[in-house]
Structure 1
Amino acid sequence: MVLVAVAFILTFVGSGAVSMPALTQGQAQITSTFQDNVLTVSVKNAFDLTGFQFAVNYNPEVLELGRFEPLLPIEEGAFLNNNGAEETFFTYSQENEPGLIKGIVAARLGKKPGVKGSGELAKVYFTAKGEGNPEISISGSIITNSAAEKVPHQVMPVEIGEQAQQPATQNAPGFDFTLALVAVVVIVAIAVFFFVAKK
């Protein structure tokens, strides 16, 4: 049955956003935070959760997917491993477009029931490449239960926090380092000339 859930989720990789009903009391929520160029995606109020899938949209002028090699750009969270899962299936699309990660997919394997409660689903790591609004969001989300059924849920807006600063790659505006270096060399040369002339 759980393997059916895996196949069910995989059929939706790369699909468009799924319209979900308004939030009701006790309904599952997908929440996320973007802090220090790391997107952390979590779930709240889950019940019998066996798998999930979502896409990530971002501003390619501001962010670039990935971090220093050999570290992976996307990591699975620990939530699906709760309640004694034998192992989990986790993958993400390798054929993405600038500004879009088409599919991040995970499912519980084995015969254990689904998990309930709240916890982390995945982390997505970015590198800053410019200034501006990261425009980061979650779309196309699907969560499934042990009967391979889609579970109604709501996707909350990404909470944006402080970001790691991009390393400086150029001099401050209005300051020409080359001209300053030339000026120093000229001053030193003049000083040496007068020192030699006095002798």
Structure 2
Amino acid sequence: MYRSLSAAAALLGLLSPTQPPPEGGEPVTAPVIDLSGKVLDANGKVLDIGERISNLDESVTDETRGTQRRIIFAADVLFAFDKATLTGKARSRLRQAAESLRKEAAGKEVKIDGYTDAKGSGSYNLELSQRRAQAVRDALGELVPGVTFTVAGHGEADPVAPNALPDGGDNPKGRAKNRRVEISFTR
């Protein structure tokens, strides 16, 4: 018993390497660690782990980063071209978003942001994005009572993909990604 106690004590630094062993025990050799060297701080940026899930055609994306949640709908799924009236398909997609809002955003503020591509005038796109965000807010307001919604239209600001190709040609896939409505809240 003394042997294991003295070994444990040596490992914990309670005995010096030259200290005699406890009565009846064997000599203990403890490792000597030199702690007189320079101490360096470990600095680094702490990043939140996020997750991003989208359906195969990326028409609906669900992102979570820390306590922030964002549901992104491609405008082409919610609206006909150049319109701000929700399609029948849009209502079923918004019902799915409403389930998440009921579970995670009850009593909290939810932001709804509308975006367009860069086709057309800036003022027209700003107004269209506002009307689209408001249409989503109206539908969700019926589905999720008790949530405060803030609505904003941003037009062609904050693109997530290039509206044009490097040679200046049209980029329909990029423009499609930029036409979107984002629903965001803190969980």
Which protein shows a greater Rg?
Answer: 2
Question: TM-score under structure 1 normalisation?
Answer: 0.30
The answer to which structure has the higher strand fraction is 1
Say which structure, 1 or 2, has more relative contact order (CA 8 Å, 6+ apart): 1
Question: TM-score under structure 2 normalisation?
Answer: 0.31
The answer to which structure has the higher helix fraction is 2
